A and B are shown apart, each in its own frame.
Chain A
Amino acid sequence: MRFAVAHKTATYLMVGFAYLAMTTGGGVSPGIALGGLVLLLASWWWEPPRINYDKWSWVWTAASVFALAYCVLTAIVTGDFLGVGAQFLTWLIVAKGFNRKAARDWQQMYLLAFLMLVAGSVLNPELTYGLCFLGFVVSSTWAMTLFHLRREMEDNLLVKHAADRASERVEVRRILDSRRIVGGRFFFGTGLLSFGVFLAAAALFLALPRVGIGFFLKSRSGLTLAGFSDGVKLGGHGVIKNDSTVVMRVQIDPKFGGRSAPQIHWRGVAFDRYSKGNWTRSQRAPETKQRLEQGQVRDRRSLNYDRPAISIPEIDTLATTLVRQDIWLDPLDSDVLFGASLPRIVEYPHVVRRRGTTNERNDEIRLPHGSTIHYSVWSELVPPPPEQLRAASGPLPRGYEVYLQLDEPGKPPEITARTRAKALEITRGLTNNYDKAVAIQTWLTTNLTYTLVLEDPGIQEPVDYFLFDRKKGHCEYFASGFAILARAAGIPVRQVNGFLGGEWNEYQGYVAVRAGDAHSWDEVYFPGVGWVTFDPTPSATVDVLGRGGDGWRARLSRMMDTLRFQWTKWVIEYDLASQLELFKTVGGAIKSAALTVKAAVVSAKDAVLAYWPIGAGLGVGLIGFLVLRRRRSGPGMETGRARRTRVRSTVAEVFDQVAAALAKAGVARDAALTPRELATRMAQRGDPGAPQVGELVELYYVAEWGGRRDPAAEVRAQILAAEIRQALDAARRARRTSGATA
């Protein structure tokens, strides 16, 4: 490849990767991103002799001024300085691509590429950033190396000297067009180097101490997805879309994982107040009772629910009996933390100061986070046995009466009479809350059907419309229907939003929860026992984690998600706790290796002591070998490398063939005779081919000892060898002829 083309290609690759790293995260609007990419590609051909840069410079200057003014105004108006900054970077790189006049412009392209990478670190936390980063590392190594060579040859020192005339600069264009400077080996070698750079960058990334407290500062707005929301509003119409974006990944005890494991309710927000089809969190709802332990690295919260607080040792003991989940949660509109129902302990990275105020009620756990967060939850997955629930009795704890609310106090009743009557009808004859709740759940699942297609209830009360007219709905309708019917039957209940199930990823052993897995269900309170999950929505066709199928597309999709998960786990959410854990693992491995070595040394020592004469002999032999080897390779001695067989030149090989032919013809060379002396002797005796031998010997000396390879001499040597053979053959024939005559 021509040097100039190689440099340009590497530079465009580097800029391209940085550009994609910045734009693929969605921080730049797709139109601008695509337009910028097209213009950047077009700038490849925008160069002399096709284009005169000076002629167009005023256009670019004017356009740049306009772009700057536009971006400043836009940033002030929208307040999105980062996004607008990325747009301005897009403009700058395009403008620079169209104005590659001198080395300075190339340098500015590199700087802009780096700034785009920095911007991308905020705008694009996805796996695409990592892939682009890898491409950037490789291409930047090529580009920077080639740029350095180019600038050296353009700026400095390529001067041709001659003794008889003034020194003159070598024409740079000729070198830029040369194909001999960089080739496949160069790209392969620097590619390997860049791979090493990447590995070193990764190692440094893992080793650099995470001492920052900026967890709070990396703020991005949460994803607005179809699915989970921090609130319930019944009465909408249309079709609910099933969003397949993964929002949460959970590593869970293998007993509860696997493709045949049952689905898990990932509890998020809970509501106590129902009014006009809306579920909300009332100010009267009980605050989440919890105990907070703050550590240097991680904070831990234990939820008490309706029970009294327990001591730290009891929490530690409790943790051993619960099911642990490690959760990586992407930012959503809500700051709630999810956990398998019912979560008891939550542990997350240490928070020095909490951003904003949280309103934790109804046993929700909230932690503001602007990016993906990694935390652990310990949950009670197995509900209490029905007998225990049937036997549960007692007064409601203080404040729990909100979970029996139906109508707004002081306002006309919202819940229709036929709804209340239906509740009584369903629970008639049942004596305990558990049986009543089960009956309501059974009635809902058997008499109503699931649909994602919603109809507008108009002015009709939404639950009433769902229960008696529409008789179809999605999970929020079922959960609301259950809650209203249960409350009408006197059962304390609250509605919960979260996710249900997920897809088991067999490659990495985790559950991928998608936005489309958002779900609503209910929690029923049993005095003395606690909250128990009831899901009145009819089961879907798949009620295990083995969703997605086993086809190659599903497998590929899961494999890609594995990569994303690893990216999130080891890059995006790599924190001090992960670092300490990693160091601990590495330290343990080193310690283990050291112990192994120590054990080996000790056993070797024991063996030496047991067989000391043999050991001493081997030791002396080894030392002797080392000393001998060192002396051999010492100064003044030939090294192993230098002793290698020297490659003979082509002329020397021809000479060897001729010498063999001469020896066969009776003109052998003694060991003490130099080739030149042999030639002289042959000339003196008038041997056949003597002049050619003389010339060949001189060529031999030049080629073999002169240090230069001369193709003309090689050709000449071949000709001389042929002539010598002819002369020897002629002499042989002459001798035969004379012998025959005699």
Chain B
Amino acid sequence: MGIWARLRRRLRPPRRLSFTREGRLIVVLSVGVGFAAINTGNNLLYLLLGWLLSFIIASGILSELTLKRLTVQRRPPPRVFAGDPFLMEVVIQNGKENRASFSIEVEDLVGTTPIDKRCYFLKIPAAKSQRTSYRHTFARRGHYTLTGYRLATKFPFALFRKSRDVDAPLEIIVYPSRVAVPRPIPRTTSRGESTADRLGRRGEFHGLRERRAGDDRRDIHWRSSARTGRLLVREYEDELARRVVIGVDNALPEDVRDAVTDGALTPAAETQVSAVERAISVAASLAASYLEIGWTVELCARGLHVAPGVGRIHEAKIARALALLPYVSDEVAFAALPPKIESVLITPRSVAASGRPAATTVMDV
């Protein structure tokens, strides 16, 4: 954290107060009663004024006690996809051993601005925690940082809303949106479940795993399967026969990239950006689709290369890479797609770019 950030943090008031309608009414009443008391010298009006003022003071003290020793944990789901609503779980813990907290609002903050959803807790018993969640949607993929959360309460009399901002950065990677896309027909190997002409299937023995759809029946390790009661197959290091390279073109003209940076997209630029985003979504969905059936997937883009891999961890790796894939100039070189391997190049339809590599399949989306 930089010096300025720390200084700003220190200078930031620890609490914010904003008056509600009732609070404003009480203040107006206090002024009116005070004026009447001074004007008439009626001591009972002074008594009422004293009550109004102490009511406001008590409200401030109690709201402070309510916000005291509350901690919040936000738990996003493991994967968040652009355009898909997700539930952010919010767990609030009351650290006070003898006092419940009432009427607590929790808001996630981006910078100092709360996001549009607010969680409400009616009562958090002493030394207990409560959980709820809010539904939110990130429209675009990318890296988001929820800088902290805001604890607020209008308890006990709703005279004002007192809030406290807590720094608790939460990083969220929003993966590209998922689309239904059929896998292209393989061009470099045989099709279907036929195994007669499948080559290069045997490499070094790697281990056993559970059988998935599309696995070669010959790889089933019958003895282990009989012992465990589950179908287990052998894995070999050489999986060339079921390997695909997915390429996605993330090039955008400079003016469009500038417009994205400035947040001033024209309809034409918006079309091109949407096309690139669609291509990235297709790439991510396709990669997931291939990995689901056990293929080895490699990812290429301009300025990006994800080495071949299999499994769910690799899928997350690809999704993360695509989530953070920046728009670049078409001068940035595309990693060459390896020959003799199934390759799919996904290009945005309305974006013209040079330097696209050759691929066994080209999908213009």
Contacts and interface: CB of A to CB of B under 8 A. Distances in A.
Interface of A: 107, 111, 114, 117-118, 120-122, 125, 129, 133, 137, 141, 144-145, 147-149, 151-153, 156-158, 161-163, 167, 175, 181, 186, 189-190, 193, 196-198, 200-205, 208, 210-215, 217-218, 571-575
A413 B105 CA distance: 92
A178 to B, nearest CB: 10
B47 A571 contact: yes
Nearest to B62: A193
B103 A212 contact: no
Given A118-B33, A193-B58, A204-B54, A148 B158 contact: yes
Nearest to A160: B132
Nearest to A571: B43
Given A151-B158, A156-B120, A163 B42 contact: no
Given A148-B156, A200-B57, A212-B38, A121 B51 contact: no
B122 A149 contact: yes
Given A152-B122, A202-B47, A212-B38, 9 more contacts: A133-B47, A152-B103, A157-B119, A158-B120, A190-B156, A200-B58, A204-B54, A214-B38, A218-B40
24 contacts: A118-B48, A129-B44, A144-B156, A145-B157, A149-B102, A149-B155, A152-B122, A152-B158, A157-B118, A161-B87, A161-B133, A197-B55, A200-B57, A200-B58, A201-B47, A203-B50, A204-B54, A205-B43, A205-B50, A212-B38, A217-B39, A218-B40, A571-B43, A573-B43
**4 A-B pairs closest in CB distance:** A157-B120, A200-B54, A121-B44, A204-B50
Contacts of A167: 135
Nearest to A641: B97
Interface string B30-50: 000100111111111111111
Contact of B41 (A163, A197, A213): A213
Contacts of A212: 37-41
B293 interface: no
Max count, chain B CB within 10 A of own CB: residue among A125, A137, A157, A203: A157
Nearest to A151: B158
A218 B42 contact: yes
Interface residues of B, number: 47
Contacts of A196: 58
Nearest to B37: A212
A172 to B, nearest CB: 11
Contacts of A148: 103, 154-158
B29 interface: yes
Interface in B130-186: 132-135, 154-158
B82 to A, nearest CB: 18
B53 interface: yes
Interface of B: 22, 25, 29, 33, 36-51, 53-55, 57-58, 62, 77, 87, 99-100, 102-103, 105, 118-120, 122-123, 132-135, 154-158
Given A121-B47, A158-B120, A214 B57 contact: no
B40 A208 contact: no
Contact of A572 (B44, B54, B135): B44
Contacts of B157: 144-145, 148
A517 B39 CA distance: 36
Given A148-B103, A197-B54, A117 B122 contact: no
A196 B57 CA distance: 10
**Highest count of chain B CB atoms <10 Å: which of A141, A145, A148, A573:** A148
A214 B39 contact: yes
A118 B49 contact: no
B46 to A, nearest CB: 5
Given A114-B29, A145-B156, A161-B133, A202 B45 contact: no
Contact of B50 (A129, A151, A201, A218): A201
Contacts of A215: 41
A148 B157 CA distance: 6
Contact of A201 (B22, B41, B54, B77): B54
Nearest to B29: A114
Contacts of B22: 107
Contacts of B87: 161-163
A197 B58 contact: yes
Contacts of A107: 22
A258 B277 CA distance: 98
Contacts of A161: 87, 132-135
B259 to A, nearest CB: 36
Nearest to A371: B42
A208 B155 contact: no
A205 B44 CA distance: 9
Contacts of B57: 200
Contacts of A163: 77, 87
